[in-house]
Amino acid sequence: MFTYYLDLALRSLRRNKALTALMVLAIALGIGASMTTLTVLHVLSGDPLPGRSGDIYYPQVDPQDLRGMYPSKEPPMQLTLIDGMNLLHAKRADRQALMTGGDVPIQPEQSALDPFYVDARYTTADFFPMFGTPFLYGHGWNAADDEAKTREVVISRELDQKLYGGANSVGRTLRIAGTAFQIVGVLDRWQPNPHFYDLNTGSYAYGEQVFLPLQTMMDLHLNRDGSTDCWGNGGGGTGTILPAASCVWLQFWVQLGNPVKVAAYRQFLVHYSEDQKALGRFQRAPNVRLRNVMQWLDHNGVVPDDVRLQALLAFGFLAVCLVNTVGLMLAKFMRRSGELAVRRALGASRRTLFAQLLVESGVIGLVGGFGGMLLAMLGLWLVRQRSSDYAALAHLDSSMLLTTFLLALCATLLAGLLPAGRACQIAPALQLKSS
């Protein structure tokens, strides 16, 4: 029966080519605009650590003085070196990683390559197992290497390709800022978006190429970038000078496997703040936060407001297109009232006619969805030409491709309900008599 309805639908659409083209165009424009903005929103609001983000948390404490204090004030987004080291060595979480970012000069062995700078991540050993970074070769360093300030480095696949042609470079020596480091691991492709673990370096399309032990970085006074907030007599460091004790500049992440551990760690942060206040370091009452990855991204408003607004406007445009499609379908179906009346007189039920007209609406939706997909691909290409940091991420993946056709089909079927219902309500006797 469906095949029969489909044949009737195709014949009907061919008979009214201009009207069919208008309906398909209306659906295609609405779907193209909405899927372009929805795809961008989908990419920007995605989970950077699927399957892990619910167990990874960002602790915050408040070591600031009393100036500028007011109720419900958020604690600083980063940690001082003292607090970072204290929390790291407390080892109250399943895993913990203290880190900051910077850039370092690379001096290649090959004479054909000039020295160049790459982005660096200075971190501790748990960074790799906690975030589930994939290794192409080798592995990360361990906690003992952190304390020993070893000259070990993990590099990205891109840097390995540039320096060693993609060969296994584990065990080789890489000179960074004039110091020889031993390569212990090569990461496979890994560039989480958003760049959740350090939003100061950029939210999207950012990835480090070398990973060094944090204490090695401090020992060698390597260059660091990123945000530094100070109070009191503290001052931000410049060049190779580390920030003062009354400055926050480090990010700290912990892995907590269940809600009980989350509650216990939050209480630990409160007790830690109380102890530091008793020692005279903290002046404020305990003011702590503990958010998981997605909560942290939401709190920081990583998804730009203009992207959300564009998505709302695009779906509003889709609604306008659907209203126009309803009018065109109503006109088309009502013009076929004589044909439908004959079918009713020959024994077809209202339900049969309704199903036939909905199949016709579905065909319009599928064709419009294909046109909408092409327009969405064009729209995403235009987005990629922009200078924003997320522009390069705007691609239509398989899930969004399926969503395009489902949205087009469902929207058109919804738009066809009223016209099909109205056309099936006409009494066949009146139509036959008038004809």
Dihedral Cα 264, 250, 292, 70, nearest 10 deg: 80
Distance CA 265, CA 252 (A): 13
- HSE on the CB side for 324, CA within 13 Å? 18
Token pair for 270:
């409160």
Q: What are phi and psi of 124, to 5 degrees?
A: -110, 170
**CA 373, CA 383: separation in Å to the nearest integer?**
15
Taking the C-alpha atoms of residue 74 and residue 89, their distance in angstroms, rounded to an integer, is: 25
| DSSP class per residue in 197-254 | T-GGG-SSS---SEEEEHHHHHHHT---BS--EE-TT-----TTPPPPTTEE-BEEEE
> Is 375 within 8 Å of 24 (Cβ atoms)?
no
The tens place of each residue's pLDDT in the chain, 435 residues long, gives: 667 667 666 776 777 788 888 888 888 898 888 888 888 887 777 888 998 999 999 999 999 988 755 555 889 999 999 999 999 999 999 999 999 999 999 999 877 889 999 999 999 999 999 999 999 999 999 999 999 999 999 999 999 999 999 999 999 999 999 999 999 999 999 988 888 999 887 667 678 999 999 999 999 999 888 788 888 765 544 444 678 888 999 999 999 999 999 999 999 999 999 999 999 999 989 999 999 999 999 898 887 777 788 888 888 888 888 888 888 887 777 776 666 666 666 666 777 777 777 888 888 888 888 888 888 888 888 888 877 767 677 777 788 888 887 888 888 888 888 777 776 766 655 544 455
Query: In the structure, how many helices (H) and strands (E) does the chain have?
Result: 14, 12
Q: Report the pLDDT value the prediction gives residue 129, as an integer from 0 to 100.
A: 97
Q: Hey, CA dihedral for 333, 338, 344, 346, is it positive or negative?
A: negative
CB 175 within 8 A of CB 113: no
Question: Residue 152 belongs to what H/E stretch?
Answer: strand 152-155
Predicted local confidence at residue 103, as pLDDT:
92
Boundaries of every domain in the chain: 2-45+303-434, 53-299
139 vs 264: CA distance, rounded Å: 31
Give helix 350-384 / helix 398-424 axis angle, nearest 10°.
150
SS3 sequence, 315-336?
Answer: HHHHHHHHHHHHHHHHHHHHHC
3 φ/ψ angles, rounded to the nearest 5 degrees? -60, -40
H or E element, residue 381: helix 350-384
What residues are paired with 186 via a beta bridge? 137, 155
Burial class from Cβ neighbours inside 10 Å (0-12, 13-18, 19+) for residue 32 reads buried
Identify the pLDDT of residue 241.
64
The whole-angstrom separation of Cα 123 and Cα 101 is 8
Q: How far apart are CA 12 and CA 116, in angstroms?
A: 66
Residues 38 and 258: beta-carbon distance below 8 Å: no
What pTM was computed for the model?
Answer: 0.78
Q: Helices 2-15 and 17-44, interaxial angle, to 10°? A: 110
